Structure 1
């Protein structure tokens, strides 16, 4: 069963967690020092509760049609994992709210689990995404200039917030994909800053590569990006006078909160061998770059 709109659960085991793990800033991941790795306790928690599998499945089943057409090996691999196409694909109506709600549920779950003061700044997010290629705290490997269309997107969601609904806001932030329309992409070249940022800060040599949806939640830059997105969503909802009790919002948040809590209650992820992943997952968002 896919992680589609119904948020079907993949539960690797059962059990309960003990008290919050102690803060551990060890940055050795798979034998490699990684200065952008989240603390070891957080990485271990994600590993033992199946978060990497959850995240790669979530994005894969929502790009099913695109991947089937352009990277068929990735869908053969996804089927070997028991995954199925999500009813609502990335960029389609309804997926904007799903994108925002699922990532908010992940963020809130970890903030609720890791309550020590030293953890909170890790999830605060950028005040605004960095655009300076010389910024050593947010390194860009290819040193490419920041896309001016994406700079416009950042400016728009930092001030205008002129979107009709949560879903419209989420679609604009996440992706330029618009399945079933024209060439399959939005005519608005400023859409999709989320996917752009993942690709911009990816590093295929990093064990917490921001471009790999199975491991990128272990990277500090992931939470800087999604902390910023979540803060802009909060600002948008406040500007629109929207409430936590709004039915569509509450249903999505409650559903994904339940999903993450179920993963949080499960322990003992199987390390059984599996078919090797296709290379497209090593830099998942690079394929989304459009002129």
Structure 2
């Protein structure tokens, strides 16, 4: 499919998602828990010759007066509903994003790290703004096919998501939670038998799954707002559950139909989740996530409540039956859809209102770690889908390793709080000071690079001396004991005795429990992980 920008922007080749023609089948969708759109031949190009155009509502292309834009003869088209507008293309400096410009840095990671002194882990540090943020149109884009108008995010966003396999990774994230008995499955890459570990919290079976549902979608929302900070409205949710046509984008108002009384009653609970009588319904965040996400009537462990089905209610409200390429009911590409982010943004706001009412902070280290964990999982899934993607420097290679270092020590260094793996990760460019504490590397290789290895900044000390944490430079540094350890510089090693990583007050950021875990691992001989 070609996107020809009538506002004078450059022509771009749109990605594979819009090249597929999906057959409309009525079925139980694995992702949305209701009707879904599936393809009889997902790899076939659209034989209807679907092409299209992007045009700013602010003006016509050079040489055409308002209302004189050429009439499209294709069955589908893109129309930007805001932003750049018309003007003389010979003087315009605007450019449009495409799959050739891709992510800022490309690959599953997509982070550029431009100007950084160490490889950037976007799961911890976030994304840099995408180059197209300066020129992209505001608001949603209209996608027209077979006479029906649907709304998507702008084409530059879709191109980035396609290049980074976000559509497929989002679908497979749900699929890997359907691997157990009774799961709906549906994976296109046999994700249940891939290198990515199958989560024990399977879809709508535990409150852990409900919590991960909330955390994963927050990761996606935050990432897109970081990439396009000037256009964050495209990923902003409804302020409240939309009960009238006037609360919807203009293109959907004529088709608005009233909700059922049950849906409205559940929506009222969600919008007023901070009221004591509603808070008491949900013992924890996972119970709230299950209540929103799952089929109406599904039992919620530890609660007398049953799931509301609000997630599915919202998805199926915005389906165009004859325009499904990027439809919110299309499980393979629904994240392209503008209404997807309106509804999931609303769910995220309900979750945050619950957290505030419970006295939970948005800066809670556990929350940050949990969101980062969803980011790492989604990156790992994307690389199963497309192994050629460049890994995020902070993304660990999926393994079946076990042992104290892999399960208890490594997570300390890779946590969003300490950010050790931001500088000391192991991408192709090499970690800072040659010290690998995380990244695209196995735990066995990390341990091999620590045990009895000299330190570049610890004089005569070795990084880890099995059985002797007080002679192990790694432990001395993170515990704040390096300055008094008697380091002697040599021709090959300086003495950099400052504590790392530091808390705001200059003291060690590792907790006493984390220090005890690291110390005990070294004391026990610093055993390598087992496969």
Provide TM-score, normalisation by structure 2. 0.40
CA RMSD of aligned residues (A): 4.1
Alignment-derived partner of residue 173 in structure 1: 292
Alignment-derived partner of residue 220 in structure 2: 106
Alignment-derived partner of residue 222 in structure 1: 340
Q: Is the 8 A contact 1:141 1:203 kept in 2?
A: no
The alpha carbon displacement at 1:96 in A equals 1.2
Q: Is the 8 A contact 2:319 2:328 kept in 1?
A: yes
Corresponding residue SS for 1:36: strand
The alpha carbon displacement at 1:34 in A equals 4.6
Note closer, same or farther for the CA distance 1:242–1:53 as it changes in structure 2 (3 Å cut): same
Flag the structure with larger Rg.
2
Map of 1:29-40 to 2, 5 A cutoff?
34-40=149-155
The alpha carbon displacement at 1:177 in A equals 6.8
What do the CA deviations read for 1:236-289 (whole angstroms, capped 9, x no partner)?
111110124546533311212445678999xx897xxxxxxxxxxxxxxxxxxx
Alignment-derived partner of residue 278 in structure 1: none
**2:261 pairs with 145, 148, 166, which one?**
148
Map of 1:53-202 to 2, 5 A cutoff?
53-65=168-180, 68=183, 74=186, 77=188, 79=190, 86-91=199-204, 92-116=206-230, 119-132=231-244, 137=250, 139=252, 145-159=258-272, 160=275, 161-162=278-279, 163-176=282-295, 188=305, 191-202=308-319
| Unmatched 5+ stretches in structure 1 | 1-10, 271-291
Q: Is the 8 A contact 1:47 1:269 kept in 2?
A: no
Note closer, same or farther for the CA distance 1:152–1:81 as it changes in structure 2 (3 Å cut): same
Higher helix share: 1
Alignment-derived partner of residue 93 in structure 2: none
Note closer, same or farther for the CA distance 1:263–1:188 as it changes in structure 2 (3 Å cut): closer
What do the CA deviations read for 1:29-53 (whole angstroms, capped 9, x no partner)?
8999854011011111111110011
CA distance in 2, matches of 1:141, 1:82: 46
Corresponding residue SS for 2:229: coil
What do the CA deviations read for 1:99-138 (whole angstroms, capped 9, x no partner)?
010000000001001122xx12222211223234796747
Corresponding residue SS for 2:308: coil
The alpha carbon displacement at 1:140 in A equals 8.8
CA distance in 1, matches of 2:222, 2:381: 14
**Equivalenced residues, count:** 251
CA distance in 1, matches of 2:351, 2:161: 25
CA distance in 1, matches of 2:297, 2:181: 11
Higher strand share: 2
**2:158 pairs with 43, 46, 53, which one?**
43
Corresponding residue SS for 2:368: helix
Corresponding residue SS for 2:151: coil
Structure number with greater CO (CA < 8 Å, separation at least 6) is 1
